[in-house]
Amino acid sequence: MKDYAEPLARLIDELKRLPGIGQKSAQRIAFHLERASPEEAERLARAILDAKEKIKLCSLCNNLTEQDPCEYCTDARRDQEVVCVVETPYNLISVEKTREFHGLYHVLHGALSPLQGIGPEQLKLKNLIERLKGGKIRELIVATNPNVEGEATAIYLSKLIKPLGIKVTRIAMGIPVGSELEFADEVTMLKAIEGRREI
Amino acid sequence: MPLRETEALVLRTYRLGEADKIASLFTRQLGRLRAVAAGAQRPKSRYGGMLEPLSYIRLWIFERENRDLLRINSAELLESFFDMQKDYRLQVAAQFVAEVADRFLPEREVNDRAFRLVLAVLRTMKQSGETNRPLVYFDYWLLRLGGFLPDFGHCTSCGRGLADAPVYYAAGFEGLLCEDCRPPQAMLFTARERLARVVERCQATLSHWTGEEESAGDLREVRHFFEELIEAHLERKLVTRPLLDEV
């Protein structure tokens, strides 16, 4: 005899495919949905379908958007001469939350990671180079993650872009705000010293 | 459970939930194993850059009953290969080493010689910026230490002596092949003399092999052959290998 009725088992199986959801969590969500009203379940199903049907990549910056070009690329108030390069659309949100950056973005959709089979060909670099060759951009800020993959991507980009005469900068790396030097490892401390600035 | 102290090389990490990571580690005293690093994804994680690929660390680890994964209690960095991997060419080469070690070495089997080999290869790459020579050395010794190095003087299929006859190699075969045993897709192996020279060079330590005698092309051909042997034993393609050919 099966543990669950077929539709419920299928729902649990589908939920288990989501990142961070294991068997137990999938069961909990499935039973929650089973108890929910039909309207509530339909709202969730509609939201998933809408996101899949309506969201596409911006043809200029590769951000996830409903309209093409996206709202960042079409906003005339933003500084058109500075582009911030990030790995993923949610990294873009992190930069945007600072409210200190008013330029444009470019999403690579990954970083150079040989262990995951990601090389330069797999990154969204082609339209970045086309944008830069347009001649309007004077600075490119590389905001890839502060890990081996992000660093390799930043250096790769800098080698590719500097010959175009564009200033390439890298976000600072080092000690996180609120932590203590005592607990910093050598790599983090070294990066903090390398990235020091005059005050 | 008691804490155990060991030196380790971080082969790779995977995300676990929102805050933790699973680290695949090649430890000196416990062999290859996987362990959970709690909170390693947090910005203020006490691990910082310690769990970046190929970091050489000292760690304190413990095991819990009925759990497959060990847990890292604390760690300290002994040597970092972070800056070396800023260069994409070296990053690919170093992560090829990590991938092969991760797939080739049996779990929980102590292998001090393989540990020293990986460390020596990484240090040579870091100091010289060179990839071909350290990778050939790594491939050769890993095959030899694993007991998979074939007899290059005989056909791996029929055992016949190869002498001066043309020899071939093909994906999925664990050595050189004679004319009669070669499958249709086999390639003529033209680097026999170079292979013999490279094998001779590999008998000394990596620091004694200056690499001046062999061209990059010679070394690359021998390296390709060794990589075919490694893939034949793993019975799977290596993810980093196509990228290694591109750089």
Asked if residue A59 is part of any domain, the answer here is no
Per-residue confidence (pLDDT) for residue A95, from 0 to 100 = 95
- Which of A36, A54, A72 is at the close of a domain? A54
User: Is A104 in the same domain as A175?
Assistant: yes
Cβ atoms of A92 and A141 closer than 8 Å: no
* Interchain CB distance below 8 Å, B44 and A176: yes
Asked if residue A1 is part of any domain, the answer here is no
Please give the distance of CA B29 from its chain centroid, rounded to a whole number. Answer: 18
Transcribe chain A into DSSP letters. --SS-HHHHHHHHHHHTSTT--HHHHHHHHHHHHHS-HHHHHHHHHHHHHHHHH-EE-TTT--EESSSS-HHHH-TTSEEEEEEEESSHHHHHHHHHTS---EEEEE-SS--BGGGTB-GGGSS-HHHHHHHHTS---EEEE---SSHHHHHHHHHHHHHHGGGT-EEEE---SPPTT--GGG--HHHHHHHHHT----
Residues of A in Cβ contact (< 8 Å) with B44 = 176, 178-179
- Which of B80, B99, B119 is at the close of a domain? B80
List C-alpha distances in Å: A74 to A65, A67, A71, A104.
12, 10, 5, 10
- Interface pTM, i.e. ipTM: 0.81
pLDDT above 90: residue B67: no
pLDDT above 80: residue A121: yes
Cβ atoms of A186 and B77 closer than 8 Å: yes
Q: What value does the mean pLDDT of chain B take? A: 88
Q: Which of A51-60, B70-79, B184-193 has the least mean pLDDT? A: B184-193
In this prediction, residue B70 has a pLDDT band, given cuts at 50, 70 and 90, of: very high
User: Is A75 in the same domain as A164?
Assistant: yes
Interface residue A188 vs chain B (CB under 8 A): yes
- Number of domains present in the structure of chain B: 2
Residues of A in Cβ contact (< 8 Å) with B99 = 114-115
pLDDT above 80: residue A61: yes
- pLDDT: which is higher, B198 or B230: B230
User: Is A44 in the same domain as A116?
Assistant: no
In terms of Cβ atoms closer than 10 Å to its own Cβ (0-12, 13-18, 19+), residue B177 is: buried
pLDDT digits (tens, 9 = 90+) for A3-57: 888 999 999 999 999 988 889 999 999 999 999 999 999 999 999 999 999 999 9
User: Is A111 in the same domain as A27?
Assistant: no
* Interchain CB distance below 8 Å, B91 and A112: yes
- Which of B33, B56, B80 is at the close of a domain? B80
pLDDT digits (tens, 9 = 90+) for A125-169: 999 999 998 888 999 999 999 999 999 999 999 999 999 999 999
- Tell me, what CATH number does B27's domain have? 2.40.50.140
Residues of B in Cβ contact (< 8 Å) with A20 = 17-18
Amino acid at A70: C
In angstroms, the CA A87 to CA A145 distance is 7
User: Is B68 in the same domain as B127?
Assistant: no
User: Is A177 in the same domain as A113?
Assistant: yes
Residue appearing with tokens 């660390």: B57
pLDDT above 80: residue B66: no
Asked if residue A33 is part of any domain, the answer here is yes
Q: Which domain holds residue B150?
A: 85-246
Task: Give the rounded percent of residues in chain B with a pLDDT score beyond 90.
Answer: 49
Q: Which of A106, A100, A193 is nearest to A153 (CA)?
A: A106
- pLDDT: which is higher, B149 or B216: B149
User: Is A75 in the same domain as A23?
Assistant: no
DSSP state of B157: T
- Which of B63, B80, B97 is at the close of a domain? B80
Residues of B in Cβ contact (< 8 Å) with A114 = 91-92, 95-96, 99, 239-240, 243-244
User: Is A102 in the same domain as A122?
Assistant: yes
- Tell me, what CATH number does B137's domain have? 1.20.1440.120
Mean pLDDT of A187-193: 88
User: Is B76 in the same domain as B194?
Assistant: no
User: Is B75 in the same domain as B118?
Assistant: no
pLDDT above 70: residue A80: yes
Residue appearing with tokens 């060909």: A121
User: Is B25 in the same domain as B131?
Assistant: no
Asked if residue A112 is part of any domain, the answer here is yes
Q: Which domain holds residue A15?
A: 6-54
User: Is B214 in the same domain as B141?
Assistant: yes
- Containing B221, the helix (H) or strand (E) segment is helix B216-234
Q: Which of A56, A175, A91 is nearest to B46 (CA)?
A: A175
Amino acid at A110: G
- pLDDT: which is higher, B35 or B164: B35
Interface residue A147 vs chain B (CB under 8 A): yes
Residue appearing with tokens 């996830």: A64
| CB nearest B240 (choices: A115, A152, A156) | A115
Mean pLDDT of B99-126: 94
* Interchain CB distance below 8 Å, A155 and B87: yes
Mean pLDDT of B124-146: 92
User: Is B171 in the same domain as B107?
Assistant: yes
User: Is B98 in the same domain as B209?
Assistant: yes
Which range, A39-53, A183-197, B200-214, B223-237, is most confident? A39-53
Q: What value does the mean pLDDT of chain A take? A: 92
Task: Give the rounded percent of residues in chain A with a pLDDT score beyond 90.
Answer: 75
* Interchain CB distance below 8 Å, B49 and A112: no
Tokens found for residue A173: 């790396």
Reported pTM: 0.85
Per-residue confidence (pLDDT) for residue A122, from 0 to 100 = 93
* Interchain CB distance below 8 Å, A148 and B91: yes
User: Is B75 in the same domain as B94?
Assistant: no
Per-residue confidence (pLDDT) for residue B199, from 0 to 100 = 85
User: Is A117 in the same domain as A29?
Assistant: no
Tokens found for residue B93: 């080469």
Mean pLDDT of B65-75: 87
User: Is B14 in the same domain as B114?
Assistant: no
User: Is A111 in the same domain as A162?
Assistant: yes
pLDDT above 70: residue A1: no
User: Is B28 in the same domain as B91?
Assistant: no
User: Is B31 in the same domain as B48?
Assistant: yes
User: Is A74 in the same domain as A48?
Assistant: no
pLDDT above 70: residue B1: no
* Interchain CB distance below 8 Å, A186 and B77: yes
Per-residue confidence (pLDDT) for residue B145, from 0 to 100 = 92
Residue appearing with tokens 């939350």: A97
User: Is A44 in the same domain as A85?
Assistant: no
Asked if residue A139 is part of any domain, the answer here is yes
pLDDT above 90: residue A81: yes
Per-residue confidence (pLDDT) for residue A160, from 0 to 100 = 93
Q: Which of A116, A195, A115, A112 is nearest to A156 (CA)?
A: A112
- Number of domains present in the structure of chain A: 2
* Interchain CB distance below 8 Å, B49 and A179: no
* Interchain CB distance below 8 Å, A119 and B243: yes
User: Is B184 in the same domain as B226?
Assistant: yes
Q: Cα–Cα–Cα angle for B214, B119, A118, nearest 5°?
A: 80
Asked if residue A156 is part of any domain, the answer here is yes
User: Is A71 in the same domain as A169?
Assistant: yes
- Tell me, what CATH number does A146's domain have? 3.40.1360.10
